A = this chain, B = another copy of it.
């Protein structure tokens, strides 16, 4: 549950998330550790002053703040290797950090950890249009890759709402998605290779510019492992040719259930638009008030369906979609008439979280369900929130079944905050029971760590932790995240 805090004192109202207890020996050696790190990176590469540590205390899951032991900002893979080798030898936990936009607390430090910030490793190393690949350092922002190749007609597909700020390294850690992943896949489907530094400082290369590879798919394993198997310093990503045209179309419905059923039918028919985004009435109102995107305000649910390709292709696909939408009693169908209008439509959608934060505190869920379950899960989500007396706004990647109910509450009211958290847990249980899972694109982080048992058996968690230990036997990498604190191996 991502937690916005525009209205509330930070962290109030929610039950505190436990961290592993800090290692006293590490805290006691702080001066020694900072001095050692300073010898391993370029000048100015270690941060320890309390004020300078402030920006590293939390991430976009802002409810929890914790200053780290220190921050180290290496500039090369060799420096990352030296830092990890040192921390491994000295038994110091390490939390890697990109831009700190994690919605699940993936980059929140702990008191005895060194934050390894990749922000200085922000170079685009190679654009290889012949092979449709870009090789970039981990600190490069998501959007800057697309910007670099836009003139040549290419782009990098996964597009998290935070794409202006978030880094490829963070995207890899969380296997990030975005509105356009319905057609193009999430990060793991667009990642061809990485340079990975293991906890002992060993540098390995996984994948490359080619399809597949012999042996196990460690590349896929590292993608989404939330910085626990090593630190990615470079990535080779796929570039995609921008289609001839793209057009978002708005479909308004009288109920969320009908809109959800329409999405399921579009996908069941085998049609894959580039995006199908869903907004219910509260979400429409919130986004429209902020972005003036031209969304219809007289409907209960809105789908933004984007089609792309040549004019004839778009027209043919749209015709099919409209036919299906009519079966579900679509009330309004409105095609964007200009590039400006199209951009506004997307601006409205992408600002949903920020716009919601202007009017209330919220927690944002990230459960994913099989598409046929969308209408049922939407209905039950509404019932669950109503049962707690809470409002909910739904704005999400419907084509992927990746739901983002935003549960609105007042964080200054501890009772209401507790209700919001309880409702959130109910909704995630609902997603799992409906054949889905806890997270689609935000990762587990701190946020859903203690809910992992909803989804996995003890044996399944044990196997994941055994894999983790095969990379990081001392559990030094981002140790407070992903796995429930209880039941870990000794």
Please name all residues of chain B whose beta carbon is closer than 8 Å to the beta carbon of A456 when the two chains form the complex: 214-215
Annotate A453-482 by CB proximity to B: 1 below 8 A, 0 otherwise. 001110111011011111100000000001
Asked whether, in the complex, the Cβ of B400 is within 8 Å of the Cβ of A211, the reply is yes
A241 close to B (CB within 8 Å): yes
Asked whether, in the complex, the Cβ of B214 is within 8 Å of the Cβ of A225, the reply is no
A209 close to B (CB within 8 Å): yes
Annotate A217-241 by CB proximity to B: 1 below 8 A, 0 otherwise. 1101101110001000000000011
Please name all residues of chain B whose beta carbon is closer than 8 Å to the beta carbon of A242 when the two chains form the complex: 270
Contact of A210 among B368, B457, B483 (CB under 8 A): B368
A478 CB → nearest B CB, Å: 13
A441 close to B (CB within 8 Å): yes
CA distance A460 to B460 in the complex (A): 25
Asked whether, in the complex, the Cβ of A216 is within 8 Å of the Cβ of B221, the reply is yes
Asked whether, in the complex, the Cβ of B214 is within 8 Å of the Cβ of A438, the reply is yes
Contact of A224 among B217, B224, B370 (CB under 8 A): B217
Annotate A125-136 by CB proximity to B: 1 below 8 A, 0 otherwise. 000111111000
Pull 24 A–B residue pairs with CB atoms less than 8 Å apart, ordered by A.
A132-B268, A186-B212, A211-B400, A211-B402, A211-B440, A212-B440, A214-B444, A214-B455, A215-B444, A215-B456, A215-B482, A215-B483, A216-B224, A216-B464, A217-B221, A217-B224, A217-B225, A221-B221, A241-B270, A241-B271, A309-B313, A463-B471, A466-B471, A470-B470
Asked whether, in the complex, the Cβ of A131 is within 8 Å of the Cβ of B204, the reply is no
- Given A214-B444, A215-B456, A312-B312, list of 10 further CB < 8 A pairs? A130-B268, A131-B371, A198-B459, A203-B459, A206-B460, A212-B224, A212-B439, A214-B438, A218-B463, A241-B270
A202 close to B (CB within 8 Å): yes
Contact of A218 among B186, B189, B435, B464 (CB under 8 A): B464
Chain B residue, CB-CB nearest to A460: B204
Residues of A within 8 A of B (CB): 128-133, 153-154, 175, 177, 185-186, 188-189, 198, 202-206, 208-218, 220-221, 223-225, 229, 240-242, 264, 267-271, 309-310, 312-313, 316, 368-372, 400-402, 435-441, 443-444, 448, 452, 455-457, 459-461, 463-464, 466-471, 482-483
10 smallest CB-CB distances across A and B, nearest first, come from A241-B270, A220-B220, A130-B372, A209-B370, A466-B470, A470-B470, A210-B436, A214-B438, A213-B437, A214-B444
Residue picked from A221, A310, A441, most chain B C-beta under 10 Å = A221
Asked whether, in the complex, the Cβ of B153 is within 8 Å of the Cβ of A208, the reply is no
CA distance A460 to B193 in the complex (A): 14
A417 CB → nearest B CB, Å: 23
Known contacts A204-B459, A208-B437, A463-B471; A452 and B268 CB within 8 A of each other? no
Please name all residues of chain B whose beta carbon is closer than 8 Å to the beta carbon of A457 when the two chains form the complex: 204
Please name all residues of chain B whose beta carbon is closer than 8 Å to the beta carbon of A469 when the two chains form the complex: 470
CA distance A313 to B313 in the complex (A): 7
Please name all residues of chain B whose beta carbon is closer than 8 Å to the beta carbon of A444 when the two chains form the complex: 214-215
CA distance A128 to B277 in the complex (A): 23
Asked whether, in the complex, the Cβ of B441 is within 8 Å of the Cβ of A212, the reply is yes
CA distance A189 to B229 in the complex (A): 23
CA distance A310 to B318 in the complex (A): 14
Contact of A435 among B209, B225, B310, B466 (CB under 8 A): B209
A160 CB → nearest B CB, Å: 14
Please name all residues of chain B whose beta carbon is closer than 8 Å to the beta carbon of A441 when the two chains form the complex: 212
Known contacts A212-B439, A460-B204; A218 and B467 CB within 8 A of each other? yes
CA distance A206 to B202 in the complex (A): 30
Asked whether, in the complex, the Cβ of B471 is within 8 Å of the Cβ of A372, the reply is no
Asked whether, in the complex, the Cβ of A370 is within 8 Å of the Cβ of B204, the reply is no
CA distance A482 to B240 in the complex (A): 33
Chain B residue, CB-CB nearest to A189: B189
Please name all residues of chain B whose beta carbon is closer than 8 Å to the beta carbon of A209 when the two chains form the complex: 370, 435-436
Asked whether, in the complex, the Cβ of B216 is within 8 Å of the Cβ of A468, the reply is yes
Please name all residues of chain B whose beta carbon is closer than 8 Å to the beta carbon of A267 when the two chains form the complex: 131-132
